[in-house]
């Protein structure tokens, strides 16, 4: 059977996974009576809840006697490490662009990577049925983007399809016809995407690891594309790292191919096919899996460096160990190292005290997803505020990461967005209308200035703004930024919060906990209306006497507390505060729980 390998790449929310659903359905992968979930490729619980793709996944469909291996990739910049590796194992790409929003930062990022490895993308303008679609302008913007990314003459001669992934049709014209379904897209893939290079099928076996996952029955599964040679179960192989050092030798116990949503065992696979292999215990992503005779490793695509780091600490609060069962530093260390094996965009370092770990990644969302995953597995952690990874320049100067920020906002709110971004040392580089009384503002802003800005932006614009970010470059340090302008309310004692005490503290600021919640000394229970921190007693009950009051006691009505989600809490805390994460609760606390220690820390910080 003939073969094609393609990746579907796009900005977040432009409809990749929904399009893959319809490609699977229209190719006859599902039986007519078979029930399947919407966004079937988003198999992870967090992917379903957040509505985004986090992990790249492979599938395949059959069309006109050709097997098409399809890789669905994440659209969020924080998970760009997945996309960079995936592009090495495909021969073509379908780049999906929203007919209203046009090319966005992540579109630029993935397209740049695709053009760099020599792919000739097919452009599909999706969501053509939107009322605010502007396909002609979007097509011009895409062409300009190709030119700005130094596309070759061949790459600039890209085919264009229009359609709706949700409705399940694509056509060469915006008006349709719609009755052919996705046939024009399938035909375009067969015509435009070259067959895999099988010139090396008589050479010794070589494959580069691209996706790593753990299977409860087979152990480590490494997915990749066979670059040369062929492979059979029980065949001896060895693993080389990027420098050519031998990591391990072993035998392949199982070869699995992707057939729709299932994995089918194979007796034989050869150059050009995308497969998963089992049987090796150390080989990981970016390593070369090869025949024992091979001495030179395959070249792996370099990965962009991490820009944000957080400290993961052993939970030492008075409530530690009451909700989770994985609380020791050894268990946390093993879990983080396991995560770093499969996720090449993460970097783990152990602190000198051995009770905390520095975890660096592409952005807050990537690290928040890791924390949420660990929390659901039963871990308890203390998490510090995200910090930016600085670099040293050639002259010894400090360089900080700068991001390209694109904000789509209603015209009436653009003033406050420009003001807030300028306070964060951002420079505006473009302002243009984006249709429907909305404006697109483009900034170059330091990463540290954007930490915690998402929730503030939504408040300022009444939830109407859309912000997209992408790493741009390193630039000289832009100076200190103004921090949070409010203090916190800190509990003085341990016990259960009392509604009576909280009612009388409401004029001090909004609460972040409810009545009847376990608290401890040093835990943050509210936001102070002033700049300083305030220690308060939330355990104080009403004084009772044996004299009956003349008026009937009224039930106390408390203002609902501010809900601190994990993402919001991480971006809101200051350097001397932590987020305590357990399987059931997210709490905010001071780094030092004792008030005297906090005062000493504050004095030493001011002296420094």
- Residue ranges for the binding site? 13-18, 126-129
Residue with tokens 């203090």, as numbered in its chain: 487
Please check whether residue 596 is in contact with residue 412, taking contact to mean a CB–CB distance below 8 angstroms. no
Distance (Å) of CA 604 to CA 531, 597, 601, 607:
19, 11, 5, 5
Give the position of tokens 């630029």: 108
Q: How far, in Å, CA of 334 to CA of 336, rounded?
A: 6
Residue 201 burial (C-beta neighbours within 10 Å; 0-12, 13-18, 19+): middle
- SS3 at position 82: helix
Helix, strand, coil fractions of the chain, as percent rounded to 5: 25, 30, 45
Token look-up 């040679």 returns 229
- Which residues are CB-neighbours of 599 under 8 A, at least 6 positions away? none
Q: How far apart are CA 373 and CA 332, in angstroms?
A: 13
- Residue 534 neighbours by CB under 8 Å, 6+ apart: 487, 488, 489, 490, 508, 528
Helices assigned H by DSSP within 425-483 = 447-450, 453-460
- Helix 16-26 to helix 183-192 angle (10° resolution) is 100
Q: Is the peptide bond before 177 cis (omega within 30 degrees of 0)?
A: yes
Report the distance separating Cα 485 and Cα 531, nearest Å: 6
The pair of three-digit structure tokens given for residue 496, joined into one six-digit string = 């259960």
Q: Quickly list H helices, 462-594.
A: 499-504, 566-572
Buried b (16+ CB within 10 A) or exposed e, 45-72: eebeebebbbbbbbbbbebeeebbbbbb
Spatial distance between the Cα atoms of 9 and 92, rounded to a whole number of angstroms: 10
Q: How far apart are CA 105 and CA 472, in angstroms?
A: 10
CA–CA–CA angle 460, 465, 471 (5° rounding): 110
Contacts with 402 (C-beta within 8 Å, 6 or more apart), sequence order: 444, 445, 446, 447, 472, 473, 474, 475
Q: Are 511 and 497 in contact (CB under 8 A)?
A: no
Give phi and psi for 277, each to the nearest 5.
Answer: -120, 145
CA dist 203 → 236, 254, 257, 271, 529 (Å) = 15, 21, 21, 9, 71
| Whole-angstrom distance, CA of residue 66 vs CA of residue 48 | 31
Binding residues for GTP: 13-18, 126-129
| Dihedral (CA of 568, 573, 575, 578) sign | negative
């Amino acid at each position: 059977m003939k073969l094609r390998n393609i990746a579907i790449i796009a900005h977040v929310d432009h409809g990749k996974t929904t399009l893959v659903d319809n490609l699977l359905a229209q190719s006859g992968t599902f039986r007519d009576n078979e029930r399947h979930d919407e966004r079937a490729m988003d198999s992870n619980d967090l992917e379903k809840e957040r509505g985004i793709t986090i992990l790249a996944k492979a599938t395949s469909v059959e069309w006109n006697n050709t097997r098409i291996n399809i890789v669905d990739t994440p659209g969020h910049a924080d998970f760009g490490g997945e996309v960079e590796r995936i592009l090495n194992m495909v021969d073509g790409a379908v780049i999906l662009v929203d007919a209203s929003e046009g090319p966005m930062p992540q579109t630029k990022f993935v397209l740049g990577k695709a053009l760099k490895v020599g792919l000739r993308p097919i452009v599909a303008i999706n969501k053509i049925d939107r009322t605010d679609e502007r396909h002609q302008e979007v097509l011009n913007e895409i062409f300009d983007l190709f030119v700005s990314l130094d596309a070759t003459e061949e790459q600039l001669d890209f085919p264009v399809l229009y359609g709706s992934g949700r409705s399940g049709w694509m056509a060469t014209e915006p008006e349709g016809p719609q009755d052919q379904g996705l046939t024009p897209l399938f035909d375009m893939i067969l015509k435009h995407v070259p067959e895999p290079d099988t010139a090396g099928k008589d050479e010794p076996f070589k494959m580069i690891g691209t996706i790593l996952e753990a299977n409860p029955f087979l152990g480590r599964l490494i997915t990749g594309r066979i670059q040369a040679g062929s492979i059979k179960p029980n065949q001896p192989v060895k693993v080389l790292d990027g420098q050519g050092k031998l990591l391990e030798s072993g035998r392949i116990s199982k070869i699995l191919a992707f057939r729709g949503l299932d994995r089918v065992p194979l007796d034989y696979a050869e150059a050009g096919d995308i497969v998963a292999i089992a049987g090796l215990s150390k080989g990981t992503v970016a390593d070369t899996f090869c025949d024992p005779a091979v001495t030179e490793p395959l070249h792996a695509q370099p990965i962009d460096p991490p820009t944000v780091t957080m400290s993961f600490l052993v939970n030492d609060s008075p409530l530690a160990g009451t909700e989770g069962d994985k609380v020791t530093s050894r268990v946390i260390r093993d879990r983080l190292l396991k995560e770093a094996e499969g996720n090449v965009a993460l970097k783990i370092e152990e602190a000198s005290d051995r009770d905390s770990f520095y975890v660096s990644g592409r952005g807050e969302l990537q690290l928040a997803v890791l924390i949420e995953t660990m929390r659901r597995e039963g871990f308890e952690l203390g998490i510090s505020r995200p910090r930016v990874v600085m670099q040293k320049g050639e002259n010894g100067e400090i360089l900080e990461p700068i991001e390209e920020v694109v904000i789509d906002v209603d015209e009436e709110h653009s003033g406050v967005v420009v003001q807030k971004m300028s306070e964060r040392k951002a420079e505006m580089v473009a302002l243009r209308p984006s249709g429907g009384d909305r404006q697109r503002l483009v900034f170059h802003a330091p990463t540290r200035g954007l930490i915690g800005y998402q929730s503030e932006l939504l408040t300022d614009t009444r939830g109407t703004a859309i912000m997209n970010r992408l790493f741009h470059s390193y630039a000289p340090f832009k100076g200190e930024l103004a921090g949070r302008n409010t203090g916190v309310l800190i509990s003085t004692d341990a016990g259960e919060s009392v509604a009576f005490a909280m009612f009388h503290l409401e004029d001090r600021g909004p609460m972040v906990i409810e009545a009847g919640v376990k608290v401890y000394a040093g835990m943050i229970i509210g936001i102070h209306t002033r700049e300083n921190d305030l220690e308060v007693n939330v355990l104080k009950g009403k004084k009772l006497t044996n004299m009956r009051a003349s008026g009937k006691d009224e039930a106390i009505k408390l203002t609902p507390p501010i809900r601190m989600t994990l993402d919001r809490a991480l971006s809101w805390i200051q350097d001397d505060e932590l987020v305590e994460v357990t399987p059931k609760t997210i709490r905010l606390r001071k780094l030092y729980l004792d008030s005297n220690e906090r005062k000493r820390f504050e004095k030493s910080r001011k002296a420094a």
